[in-house]
Structure 1
Amino acid sequence: MSSTILELKNASIYQRESLILSEVNVSINKGEFVYLIGKTGTGKSSFMKTLYGDLPLNHGSGHIVNVDLRKLKEKQIPQLRRKLGVVFQDFKLLNDRTIKDNLWFVLKATGWKNKQEMEQKIDEVLEKVGMRTKNFKFPYQLSGGEQQRVAIARALLNDPELILADEPTGNLDPQTSIEVMEVLQQINKNGNTILMATHDYALLLKYPSKTLKCDGQKVFEVVQKTQKQV
């Protein structure tokens, strides 16, 4: 097993016929926490969508969690997503069922059968994000920050090799953003690899880490200026 979780070489990323990013060379290793930054419209979301199979990769080479993105067939996409945890900006929780039932639904959809194991897994991931005591609530009864914690728990259900967090603090106020970030940091310390797209530069200063930037149809690593100590 390679320690490289994600590698793109000379990749070009398209939305239909429009070239969004070209000559993308990116490598992420197991255990890293990596930011993806850039202004709105510079290709962050298209980059993420290519990684979880929403957009095809037709130019260059790309491997993610030992899956060849160039050879990825539509019927293999669910299999790829089981190896990834995806956290969206807008939570994507089902409002007609409780938190526990939201997670149960995902486990059933991804092939889990044993009820006792499913119960244990749900408790385990909710414990990790500090939401175990609220599993009986419905999403609309939770704050935005709590909903995002549940979304992170959902992303952890299948022990993903890589978590893709697409603007996970985009809809949250600064204090709640920090709380959610603390959860992600802890998950990363426990060994999960995380790629997080964000435009929240305050978080980058507070939690410096490897940073990729989308700009001018390119993706490149940038060296962060760390916050000066007062």
Structure 2
Amino acid sequence: MSNTVLHLKDASIYQRETLILSEVNIEIQKGEFVYLIGKTGTGKSSFMKTLYGDLPLIEGEGNIVDYDLRKLKEKDIPFLRRKLGVVFQDFKLLNDRNVNENLIFVLKATGWKDRAAMDQKIAEVLKKVGMETKGFKNPFQLSGGEQQRIAIARALLNDPELILADEPTGNLDPQTSVEVMEVLQQISKNGKTILMATHDYALLLKYPSKTLKCDGQKVFEVVQKTV
């Protein structure tokens, strides 16, 4: 079993006909916490979308959690996403149902049938993000930071091999960002692999880790200066 969770070789990322990133060569190993940084418009989101199957990979090689991105078919995408946990900037919670129902919805959509097993899994992921008492609240009754913790819990439901966090602190104030980051750090320490797109450089300084940068249509590793 390979320890490489994500491997891109000479990959080009397109949004329709527009070339966004070219000659992308990166590897992420199991258990790594990796940042993806870059100014707005440098391709971070397009990069992330390619990884979870929203944009096709047309050029180069790409392999993510044992899926070949070049050969990815529409019908494979739900299965790929079961092995990925995706955390969005705007939470993407369903406001017409409470937290538990949000999580049940995802489990049912990914093939879970046993109600007792679902309830147990929900209790487990909520505990991991410190939200075990909030299951009966609706998302609009929670703060932004709490909603993002629920979104992280949702990403953990199917024990993903890789968590893709796309600007997870983008809508949060600095203090709440740190709280959410602490949750992600804890999950990382427990062995989960995380790729986090961010433009919050304060977090990079506080929690230094391997960093990839999008700039000038390229993605390259940045050597962080020790602070």
For residue 226 of structure 1, report the CA deviation from its aligned partner: 2.6
- Contact kept in structure 2, 1:6 and 1:64, CA below 8 Å: yes
Aligned residue number for residue 51 of structure 1: 51
Aligned residue number for residue 40 of structure 2: 40
> Which amino acid letter does the alignment assign opposite residue 49 of structure 1?
K
Structure 1's unaligned 5+ residue stretches are: none
Q: TM-score, normalised by structure 2?
A: 1.00
User: Distance in 2 between the 1:31 and 1:197 partners?
Assistant: 17
For residue 225 of structure 1, report the CA deviation from its aligned partner: 1.9
1:81 lines up with 2:81 in the alignment: yes
Structure 2's unaligned 5+ residue stretches are: none
User: Distance in 2 between the 1:91 and 1:225 partners?
Assistant: 32
- Contact kept in structure 2, 1:6 and 1:28, CA below 8 Å: yes
Deviations 1:24-81 (A, max 9, x none): 0010000000000000000000000000000000100000000000000011100000
Matches within 5 A, 1:1-230: 1-227=1-227
User: Distance in 2 between the 1:175 and 1:226 partners?
Assistant: 23
> Which amino acid letter does the alignment assign opposite residue 52 of structure 1?
Y
User: Distance in 2 between the 1:172 and 1:135 partners?
Assistant: 21
- Contact kept in structure 2, 1:11 and 1:60, CA below 8 Å: yes
Percent pairwise identity: 84
User: Distance in 2 between the 1:169 and 1:197 partners?
Assistant: 10
- Contact kept in structure 2, 1:33 and 1:210, CA below 8 Å: yes
User: Distance in 1 between the 2:148 and 2:215 partners?
Assistant: 28
User: Distance in 2 between the 1:50 and 1:226 partners?
Assistant: 32
User: Distance in 2 between the 1:143 and 1:3 partners?
Assistant: 37
For residue 140 of structure 1, report the CA deviation from its aligned partner: 0.2
- Give the RMSD, CA atoms, in angstroms: 0.4
User: Distance in 2 between the 1:81 and 1:134 partners?
Assistant: 25
User: Distance in 2 between the 1:185 and 1:174 partners?
Assistant: 16
- Contact kept in structure 2, 1:205 and 1:225, CA below 8 Å: no
> Which amino acid letter does the alignment assign opposite residue 132 of structure 1?
E
> Which amino acid letter does the alignment assign opposite residue 214 of structure 1?
C
User: Distance in 1 between the 2:132 and 2:104 partners?
Assistant: 14
Deviations 1:139-161 (A, max 9, x none): 00000000000000000000000
